[in-house]
Amino acid sequence: MPAESNTETGEVATPAGDGTGETGTPVPDTESIDDEGFVIGSGRSGVVRQLGHDDFDPVGTLVLIAIYMVIVGAMWIFMYFVEFLGGDLTVIG
């Protein structure tokens, strides 16, 4: 499914592919330009749907952050062994 063109306010503007050449001497190179007029790989590609603020539920972010917190917690416990059981206590104050 090709990328939808944007109609929402503030969305990515759909660029014109013809190149207006306002300044300088841009060289048209049709072979390496994608459907939207960008050099292949540099444009936005692969967007198949638009998700607004209320449609988006960042549950994947929650999963990733939970994994990170588990790792940090485990490292924290590990540090207890490295620091306090591996040598004498460090006294401050």
Binding residues for another protein, rule: CB under 8 A, are 9-13, 15-29, 32-33, 36-39, 41-53, 56, 58-61, 63-65, 68, 71-72, 75, 79, 82-83, 90, 92-93
Q: How far apart are CA 33 and CA 39, in angstroms?
A: 4
- Where b means 16+ CB within 10 Å and e means fewer, 30-51 reads eeebeebeeeeeebeeeeeeee
Minimum CB distance to another protein, residue 7 (Å): 13
Minimum CB distance to another protein, residue 80 (Å): 10
Q: Is 72 helix (H, G, I), strand (E, B) or coil?
A: helix
Measured from the CB atom, the residue of 5 and 32 that comes closer to another protein is 32
Measured from the CB atom, the residue of 5 and 79 that comes closer to another protein is 79
Q: How far apart are CA 38 and CA 45, in angstroms?
A: 10
Minimum CB distance to another protein, residue 50 (Å): 7
